[in-house]
Amino acid sequence: MPTGITTRRARRTIAAAASLLAVLTTLSGLGAPSASAAPKCNDIEIVFARGTDEAPGLGVVGKALVDALRPMVKGQSIGTYAVKYPASWDFLEVAAGANDASRRVQTIAATCPDSKIVLGGYSQGAAVMDVVTTSPIAALGYTAPLPAAVVPHVAAVAVFGNPSARLGQPLTILSPDFGARTADLCNTNDPVCSLGEDFDAHVRYPQSGLVRLAAQWIAKHVQQQTPLRGDS
């Protein structure tokens, strides 16, 4: 990606981070999903939200994460779900992504109770997961908060380039329910999630080693999780 484009994107994301954190804080303080298509039951189900301006799908980081995880959990099937939301520069749209991600998680927990759910997101997608994991009740467009009974079905969370981390609020701090099973990862000097100024660092997660580190984190946690059949 040309450096000029990367720089413009990173600067715009930094400018939006403060307003994004305000939205997250309001949602967390305030703290009946619509039906999703019934999923095929897999051993592991990854629900991932792509970053700003990426084409619909898992995005570059999400795909790299799945590819890195597969050889670490041989013999276990992996399903993936790309969160549906605009991923535009209107950060208030994170609520749309949070609704879609939460509904998917609730559907999996209800229909595939033995599946180990993994939440993930990159950049604005990380903000989507911030909302899902920190907002216990509906607010500001987020209408599908996770019921308490669903929380144990999530084995691990991995986010990359999280804008709230730049403001001193990584997901490990923001979420009392999910913090201990979360990897909130930031490349050195990534200005979106730190006070650094290396704008290219924001797009180098697959190359920096942090995607592999996240895959190891996930593999560890899905192996530790006890089956929850009948608890949802």
202 is catalytic: yes
Is 153 designated active site? no
Q: Which of 164, 175, 202, 221 is catalytic?
A: 202
* 175 annotated active-site: no
Q: Provide the domain limits for residue 143.
A: 3-30+52-224
pTM, entire model: 0.85
Whole-number pLDDT of residue 14: 60
Is residue 229 in a domain? no
pLDDT of residue 69: 98
Whole-number pLDDT of residue 229? 58
What local confidence, expressed as pLDDT, does residue 28 receive? 46
pLDDT at 22: 54
pLDDT value of position 34:
40
Confirm whether 41 is domain-assigned.
no
Q: Determine the residue type at 79.
A: G
Run means of pLDDT, 10 residues per run, the chain, 232 residues: 50 57 49 50 98 97 98 96 96 94 97 97 97 86 95 97 94 93 97 96 97 98 74 42
| pLDDT score for 139 | 79
- How far apart are alpha carbons 164 and 141 in whole angstroms? 19
Which pLDDT value is given to residue 225?
Answer: 72
Q: Which of 28, 102, 115, 123 is catalytic?
A: 123
- Within-domain flag for 40: no
In a domain, 181, yes or no: yes
Residue 44 forms part of a structural domain: no
The pLDDT of residue 10 is: 53
Residue 13 lies in a domain: yes
Which residues lie closer than 8 Å to 128 by C-beta, 6 or more apart?
A: 49, 83, 85, 94, 97, 98, 101, 121
